Structure 1
């Protein structure tokens, strides 16, 4: 996989160049400085530049550019690790500390150093725990998820693990075995807790966050990705289902319902959405929806869900 693809910049001619490469091509230090002043080069880190400059509006790509810059300028045998490796594997950056590049080097003597732009860790790093992505050494998916699970907090670890499981980057039983082989690791219980909670059925960060929301407020975890057959002959897969109450939960929003395309295509999808709602309600199901904005106001969402539970109990009675 190329770095441009990881950065979601496949349609550009963007590349990373080092100062030494520019000097080898005949650029003088003064010329490089002039290009930087004019914005025709962008400094990623000391001695590494983005050429041509492109606008990067999302924190994940900004972080990955920093990772690439660090690795190109590093003088030691580092591997990207922790949250940096998670992004290299294509996992979401939600709740990860992306202000610093995380790297690990094999060493018999564990120690770590944290600077303004990097978190450097020296510890045992077997060759089996390292892979190559976009030409850079990166911790393998099992080691990456273990590191995230033991350093980044429960919520961030759950989101990362669920994303990896859903994308089939790794199987849960493989993670269970791998985590279990690290019995002497500091903070291993935190990683094991996140792994035990994680589901392979969450299709998005929003669905993972929804499960965390249920857990936080003591709401019973629903079934996920359930296929419901209706008398109309149509069948629908729902995000969440509390089967006993025939209550459906949908973690989505206008973008998921309407999507991209022409106005006519959007109107067609909207009609299909309302037909779906009518079919499900005709089967006696109650449907409640929430979005990212709703999760930002958890107590309000909890109240709305409690009302939906009450309504579903009345319908089911």
Structure 2
């Protein structure tokens, strides 16, 4: 099409509603936006803006996380985040997108034809923008899929040490786990840990004729927590029956059971009450709890360095004393509680 006809055609498409302007010189088809998922619509807008500045910027932060297929809360998808690919210019905030400063050598790669920051930097950038919880969700997913190593995350945190929000990024990397199966489980684990519980994600439960993995296991209480994410159930009777059978099997082994719908993950007091109710009549199962070790901290899941608790049962006559030994110089103390042997 001749250049003289481009602008009139473009204006006509905008007036007809066939095109949506997402930034200066960047347009997306209205029909494509209408049928896309929130993540898909975000990518369409990002691609359009990137096309107006080839070689100058790359997808970063939450936009980079979306490019790599990492979980991002939908409310964070309204704005596109880009990063300069060279040490020039300043941070600029536009109507629909933000262009961040160059992060250093190695901050630009390509994924699926889209210029983007590396996975580790996308995770760290998500934590910088959105805080510890969403940073942990992204880090858990990246570690679980083998897309990144703890060392790579640590490296980008250190390189971001002068950026606002780096404390959130450092905390997110420290508390990350490759065992989480979904962002809802990551959120649930963080809430329970903040309430003071030892938490083992994806705990293997073996019984007669079945093997299950509990979303969150609280070894001090003998309680298995199941996080019912926003898309866990479809209303299919077969799915509901299998889930009920699974819960009955787990209870038959003596575990307490508690379920956390999505809304509970934002109400710590509700989760705490549910855990305590489930724990009644379900004392800790005797025996040392073998918890998987975090590749990030090197310590068992459930507590971070300096606060890790390992159950160490001691038998004396007809009584069992469970002594949680608290590791770390900052908390050199121990407590014990005695329960009658059942």
Name the TM tier (shorter chain): 0.7 to 0.9
2:261 to 281, 285, 291: 291
Question: Deviation digits for residues 102-150 of structure 1, max 9, x if unmatched?
Answer: 2222454684222322222223431x32111232211111222232333
Offset at residue 56 of structure 1 (A): 4.2
Aligned pairs for 1:245-256 within 5 A: 245-252=221-228, 255-256=231-232
Q: Distance in 1 between matches of 2:84 and 2:90?
A: 10
8 Å CA contact 2:28, 2:48 repeated in 1: no
**Residues 25-104 of structure 1 mapped to structure 2, 5 A cutoff:** 28-51=6-29, 53-54=31-32, 55-56=34-35, 58-74=37-53, 77-94=56-73, 97-104=76-83
SS of 1:228 mapped into structure 2:
strand
In 2, the alpha carbon distance for the partners of 1:59 and 1:134 equals 19
State the Cα distance separating 1:183 from its structure 2 match.
Answer: 5.7
Determine if contact 1:158/1:208 at 8 Å carries over to the other structure.
yes
Q: What TM-score do you get using the length of structure 1 for normalisation? A: 0.78
**Taking structure 2 as the reference length, what is the TM-score of the superposition?**
0.72
C-alpha contact (below 8 Å) 1:95/1:156 kept by paired residues: no
For residues 143-182 of structure 1, give each alpha carbon's deviation from its aligned partner in whole angstroms, at most 9, with x where no partner exists: 2223233343211211111121122211224323454466
Q: Which deviations, in whole Å up to 9, do the C-alpha atoms of 1:42-92 show, x marking residues without a partner? A: 333333333471314654333222211211122661111111111111111
Secondary structure, aligned partner of 2:31:
coil
Q: 1:310 aligns with which of 267, 273, 280?
A: 280
Helix, strand or coil at the partner of 1:250: strand
* 2:191 aligned partner: 213
Match of 1:163?
A: 141
Find the counterpart in structure 2 of residue 225 from structure 1: 202
Q: Which runs of 5+ in 1 are unaligned?
A: 1-22, 261-265
Q: Distance in 1 between matches of 2:276 and 2:89?
A: 49
Larger helix proportion of the pair: 1
Asked if residue 141 in structure 1 is aligned to residue 125 in structure 2, the reply is: no
In the other structure, the counterpart of 2:181 is 203
Map residues 166-177 of structure 1 onto 2, 5 A cutoff.
166-177=144-155
Gaps of 5+ in 2: 287-341
Check whether the contact 2:22–2:96 (CA below 8 A) recurs between aligned residues: no
Q: 1:95, 1:155 within 8 Å by CA — same for their partners in 2?
A: no
Alignment counterpart, residue 237 of structure 2, candidates 242, 267, 270:
267
Equivalent residue of 2:278, what SS?
Answer: helix
Residues 222 and 141 (structure 1), Cα distance of their counterparts in 2 relative to 1, 3 Å cut: same
How many residue pairs align between the two structures?
286
How far apart in 2 are the matches of 1:301 and 1:96?
A: 24
Q: Which residue in the other structure is 1:240 paired with? A: 216
For 2:98 and 2:152, the matched residues in 1 are separated by 27
SS at match of 1:203: coil
